[in-house]
Amino acid sequence: MGPTFSKPLAVHETPIPGVLLLDLPTHGDNRGWFKENWQRAKMIAAGLADFGPVQNNISFNETAGTTRGIHAEPWDKFISVATGRVFGAWVDLREGPSFGAVFTAELDPSAAIFIPRGVGNAFQTLEDGTAYTYLVNDHWSADAQGQYVFLNLADETAAIPWPIPLADAELSDKDRNHPRLADVTPLAPRKTLVVGADGQLGRALRAALADHPSIEFASRSDLDLLGDLDAVRSWTAYETIINAAAYTAVDAAENPEGRAAAWAANVSGVAALARVATTHRLTLVHISSDYVFDGSRDLHSEAEPFTPLGVYGQTKAAGDAIVGIVPRHYILRTSWVIGEGANFVRTMANLAGRDIKPNVVNDQVGRLTFAEDIAGAILHLLGAGAPYGTYNVSNDGAPQSWADIAADVYALCGRDRGDVTGVSTEEYFAGKHAAPRPLRSTLDLTKLKATGFVPALSSEQLRSYVESLPGVRSG
């Protein structure tokens, strides 16, 4: 029996999430047949994941009835038949609600199947001299076998209808003795690494993900490893890096020591993470800033060209440009971040508690961004599978000046709003060594909202935040 000729390329979903069955256009005549076994551009357009194969293997089986499996490997596979026919059986051995789901199909040269990491696969040849080929997106090694998950071919729960009974099939002793489904430890999902877990955003991510077993938290010092990042982790176990680390001392970045530190953390460190993410096909989530703009526009969109005024803004713009070439990336551009630790709102609440009447800048306009809402936006974009790219992220509501926000804090602390006096940026920084700042920092949230994420109102979050501060006398 030969392959079916002239089928159009098509990708079909199966009962196992992520397992895709493909029809391959196969052309033949009395001389034989030809097919494009792997054609990245066409297959991606048809709906196959761009899984980045790095190795091609061929398995030859001399006699019909040769049966192999059930093996779940720690990489993705694209499998097709070179000659002959096989009966394929796949069992989901990943941790999650689809654990134990089964799918079977017969494959000849006109069909192929994509198997994601952690789905067990097995084959039984239906003709003598059968060979099948598979592309994988990680290099095979003997050490990798320690990460396999195995299931017995005769497992009663999976109940695979083998065309040739296993008693009459050719099996290895290893495959005969694999565990039943009840004794299988599911393959855990790939991990997420949060870098900069000690900062305001990092703490918010810790709070949001504290009970998630596949999350790892690392301090900002991981960025200092730069080119050694490959030496300290086996990145095949990871899926996502969230970079919450940055040098944020805006004024100190203008002096020689601060300038070097800003470029090291915000550019060289980011480049190291981008290199790892690109090499290992990871998703890189990176936090940007309104300081990449000069503040000359009332509303900043994601498409606005970089126009940074100072060193800090220049390093953030450079980091954004680097992350932008990572195939799988999210850049979250934020403004005026408030979280756990020292920040503007805490400072104003402290001054209110001490009966101090401050001068606060009134010609810089934007919106606050609470760290918990940045964390929420990150988890939403990752969970929803939103298109990769840059997204503005801040809280919603009418733009305000720093003086407006300070007055709100004072009112929430039971003080008179009139205790806050507005002054211009020029007046406030007169005689001080300070970095230039954008005067307009309001971010357009249209693109983020289109993904289904609706940021909370800044006024509501500010009230909750101030009321949670110790010693605050609510107004």
- Give the C-alpha separation, 195 to 205, whole Å: 10
Contact at 8 Å (CB) between 406 and 420?
yes
| Buried/exposed code over 288-307 (b: 16+ C-beta within 10 A; e: otherwise) | bbbbbbbbeeeebebebeee
Closest CA to 279 of 140, 138, 399, 141: 138
- The residue type of 332 is L
- Give the C-alpha separation, 122 to 67, whole Å: 7
280 in active site: no
Contact at 8 Å (CB) between 157 and 181?
yes
Contact at 8 Å (CB) between 396 and 299?
no
Catalytic residue among 134, 247, 391, 410: 134
134 in active site: yes
Q: What are phi and psi of 301, to 5 degrees?
A: -95, 170
- Give the C-alpha separation, 361 to 331, whole Å: 29
439 burial class (0-12, 13-18, 19+ CB within 10 angstroms)? Answer: middle
- Give the C-alpha separation, 89 to 101, whole Å: 11
Contact at 8 Å (CB) between 64 and 163?
no
Residue numbers annotated as active site: 71, 134
